[in-house]
Amino acid sequence: MKKISVIIPVYNTEKYLPRAINSIMESSIINSIEIIVVDDASSGNCKEIVEQYSTVRYIKHETNQGLFQARYTGIIHASGEFIVHLDPDDWVVNDIYKKAYETALLNSSDVVLFNVVQCDESGKEWFENYNMLPEFQNKSGKDILEQIYFFGSRHWIWHVCWNKLIKKEVAQDLIGNIQNYKHLLMYEDLLWSTLLFVNVKDRNSISSLKIIGLKYFRHKESITHVKDSKVFIKKIEDTLFVLDTIENLFIRVKLKEEYSMFLLETKYYIFSLYFQKNLKNFKSIYPQFKSIYTFLTTYDKQSMENLLLEKSADEIIQKLLKIGLKKVTIFGLGDFSRVLLCKLRHFNIDITSFTVSNPTNGYFESLPIYTIEEALDKGNTNFVIASLGSFYLIKESILNANKESKCLNIIGKFD
């Protein structure tokens, strides 16, 4: 049995395929890796390219069936202990499959995530700080679902398919769900990962590596700006299908009530990408999607964000009460900080100061503002992070500043 099966779906992306395959071939455990190329009725020379590699398996669809079906085909033919998806225009680096496999064995993980760097045709590379994974072990599927949906799917690093090593048995458990899904042009990654993490929602079996393991090739064309109106309508229909399927899934597994606010935020974010620039003309151009127009024009985004801040602050308070912390410093000076300040005072928790990376003022809400280093020097070791999207980056900054290895408590929404 191979250790890993890498599934590469191909549809008219042959020109990138050799780079993807060659990057896998550089793995130090290549003899334990199975590469499966699924030709989804591509019009190019996919078969001829694969024939240049004696160890690569080639499977062809007679008709174009889409990514879901290509991945399904790969899964049912995979022989490895773990499976991983790789798009043909991306490529892997840093011997990531070996490192992810070793991490899976070390932590008895069902899923191991790793980071990616984005790049374009010119070779330019860039990161988005909010799309960087921290290193962790033994998180549950429910923990990851919260990361995906709390931010309305903005933080795509959590839900894309191609940065996850998955135990084959776990992937095979999804086959009953995915084998009948239609050809999707949009958000199939979001649906796939939601199915995956719902399947392991109660198992603390997910790990993450902080290292970069994949280069993600970004094409110039925007998925939300296409000239072909039929394709655009198909994308909207697929997006509606995915969101409805996810909502029904959450109802079935009794997560709907808990995730209702997050699903609304996700829906708003996704459809805003399509129509924000052309909302005035939207209803007349696409009358069949009147319900989307109504949703976008009536959704109270500010009220929803306030509710999310209140909910997050309540969760932090419960964590503080559980471990008995009565004195803290708050990292951050935004709206979330004010919400937390009121709640902390209500529960008689002493706030000694505010902390930021680069303070410009001396006081906030009549409390002193310190750098992390100053806060530590003054004996502050209990940090409450009043940030959602940057929680892990701030936590790392606090840990790095702790030169004297003081015993710290770092509390936030996602700790």
Mean pLDDT of the chain: 90
Separation CA 162–CA 175 (nearest Å) = 18
Which of 68-82, 266-280, 292-306 shows the lowest mean pLDDT across its residues?
Answer: 266-280
Q: Give the residue with greater pLDDT, 374 vs 272.
A: 374
| Residue range 291-298: mean pLDDT, rounded | 83
Helix residue ranges, H only, 44-89? 46-50, 67-77
> Which of 1-15, 37-51, 195-209, 252-266 bottoms out in mean pLDDT, i.e. has the lowest?
252-266
pLDDT band at 226 (very low <50, low <70, confident <90, very high): low
3-state secondary structure of 11: coil
pLDDT at 224 > cutoff 60: no
Answer positive or negative: Cα dihedral of 368, 401, 310, 334: positive
Q: Which fold has domain 4-219?
A: Spore Coat Polysaccharide Biosynthesis Protein SpsA; Chain A (3.90.550)
pLDDT digits (tens, 9 = 90+) for 330-361: 999 999 999 999 999 999 999 999 999 988 77
- Right CATH for 309-414 from 3.30.70, 3.40.1620, 1.10.8, 3.40.50: 3.40.50
Query: What is the structure's pLDDT at 277?
Result: 60
Q: What is the 3-state secondary structure (H, E, C) of 15-38?
A: HHHHHHHHHHHCCCCHHHEEEEEE
Domain segments of the chain: what residues?
Answer: 4-219, 229-299, 309-414
Contacts of 205 (CB under 8 A, 6+ apart): 107, 108, 109, 110, 111, 138, 140
- How much is the pTM? 0.88
Phi, psi for residue 11 in degrees, rounded to 5 = -145, 100
Half-sphere exposure at residue 122, Cβ-oriented, CA atoms within 13 angstroms: 4
Q: Tell me, what's the pLDDT at 271?
A: 85
For residue 206, what are the CA distances in angstroms to 77, 86, 129, 139, 164?
A: 24, 19, 21, 5, 10
Model confidence band, residue 276 (pLDDT cutoffs 50, 70, 90)? low
